Amino acid sequence: MIQLRAFSEAELPIAITLHQLDTPEKIEKFRPRFEATGRWDDHYFNCAVDVDGVVVGEVQARHCPKSMPPGTAEMGLDLLPEFRGKGLGTRILHVLARKLFAEGYHRIAGSTDVTNIAMQRAFEKAGWKYEGTQRHLMPEGDDLPHDYRMYAITKFDDFPEVSVE
Ligand SMILES: CC(C)(COP(=O)(O)OP(=O)(O)OC[C@H]1O[C@@H](n2cnc3c(N)ncnc32)[C@H](O)[C@@H]1OP(=O)(O)O)[C@@H](O)C(=O)NCCC(=O)NCCS
């Protein structure tokens, strides 16, 4: 079963890996966010993704009341490398959307680099709709900033059957 929950203290190394925190200063700065996982804190909701008792990654949702309409959120998802490509991303998107809809949100949006085919496929398989491309969004060193494809699901959409067991 997939559960979205707080990280335990013993799971800090997993969160450090997921956030690619490579200095003690970065880890210290991350501490308050880590301790607030599993619940909304300010306008962030960061959770460990637990599959049958094993943490496989992290999911984030954001709602900024100053810049976003009521009832809308944006999300992000990162799985540890050993858990990718097994269909979990699709199922986690489904669980996250159901959870936020149950809390009163009506629209969840996410976006991904045009080269990230796995995330695009996961969005599509979970019933999220493609809504357009943001051009030259993400700086990429000396390359041109990458385009990002935007997806969203609303509680008024038809959901595909996605097993969450
Ligand atoms: C992106 C991510 C969340 C997707 O979750 P996942 O569990 O790996 O994805 P799923 O297994 O549910 O589905 C992936 C789909 O993409 C396909 N896929 C996976 N890797 C692929 C690749 N490199 N090229 C093409 N297709 C790929 C899979 O075959 C599957 O499609 P299918 O069922 O039609 O065969 C996960 O891979 C991840 O955490 N990646 C690293 C972090 C990241 O990119 N996060 C998103 C940032 S916006």
pLDDT tens readout for residues 55-78: 999 999 999 999 999 999 999 999
In a domain, 160, yes or no: no
In a domain, 87, yes or no: yes
In a domain, 162, yes or no: no
Q: What's the pLDDT score for residue 36?
A: 97
What torsion, rounded to 10 degrees, do the Cα atoms 96, 100, 102, 105 define?
-150
For residue 112, give the ligand 1 atom closest to its CA: 48
Element of type H or E holding 34: helix 24-35
CA distance 119 to 82: 16
Pocket of ligand 1 (CB under 6 A): 57, 76-79, 84-90, 112, 116-119, 121-122
In a domain, 163, yes or no: no
CATH number at residue 105: 3.40.630.30
In a domain, 159, yes or no: no
CA distance 18 to 28: 15
What is the whole-number distance in angstroms between the Cα of residue 22 and the centre of ligand 1? 25
CA distance 100 to 107: 9
Q: What's the pLDDT score for residue 142?
A: 87
pLDDT grade, residue 160 (50/70/90)? confident
CA distance 13 to 9: 9
What is the whole-number distance in angstroms between the Cα of residue 141 and the centre of ligand 1? 24
What is the whole-number distance in angstroms between the Cα of residue 14 and the centre of ligand 1? 20
In a domain, 18, yes or no: yes
In a domain, 164, yes or no: no
| Domain residue limits at 75 | 2-154
Domains in the chain, number: 1
In a domain, 143, yes or no: yes
pTM value?
Answer: 0.94
What is the whole-number distance in angstroms between the Cα of residue 94 and the centre of ligand 1? 14
Average pLDDT over residues 125-144: 95
